[in-house]
Amino acid sequence: MAMKKRMTSTPHDAVFKRFLRHPETAKTLYGCPFTLIDVTVMPDDDLVQHRRVALLELMQKHIRQRDLSGITESLAAVVMLGYTHRRQLRMLFHYMLQYGNTAEPGVFLRRLARRLPQYEETLMSIAQKLKQEGRQEGRLEGREEGHQEGLQEGSRREALRIAGSMLQNGLDKEMVQKITGLSADELQPL
């Protein structure tokens, strides 16, 4: 795969060995120029022609875009070419869902599953796993939130107990407020 010079968005040539600190070592390792390919400037239609690496290139190109839902058709077209194994697909879709952006991952996977019925089971198992991870994360956040609320309530009760003791021992309310951080309204019932 060679990249045409006009397709690059970099101000320099894309010969790999020139990026290294030791050009002689690079020359020994690679022997001939190793051309870098910038997939971000290549049209998707060209990437789709790259057979076995087409899906990987599409994902690398679009992984950071705002919503991956826009490339559903391109992804489905590449998968239908049959160059990618089920295990590779599973890993690539996990990668895409973990590092990419999509507002609704479940909807994205269902849309792909409709276009790729032979991979529906694989895609839906990923969707199920995402749903389960979401529930687990929600439970964990709930526990942490409850724990924090409990600590805050316990601290408040302890501050009220100490404030009551200070007031009983003759400290004035302003001093108790400063020490405990309680408001005048909170000290009122004491």
Task: List C-alpha distances in Å: 133 to 66, 69, 98, 126, 136.
Answer: 22, 21, 12, 10, 5
Q: Quote the pLDDT of residue 31.
A: 73
The tens digit of pLDDT for each residue in 82-121 reads 888 888 888 888 888 788 888 787 788 888 888 888 888 8
Q: What is the pLDDT of residue 9?
A: 54
For 123-137, the pLDDT digits (tens) are 877 777 777 677 778
Ranges of the chain with pLDDT below 70? 1-20, 26, 30, 33-34, 132
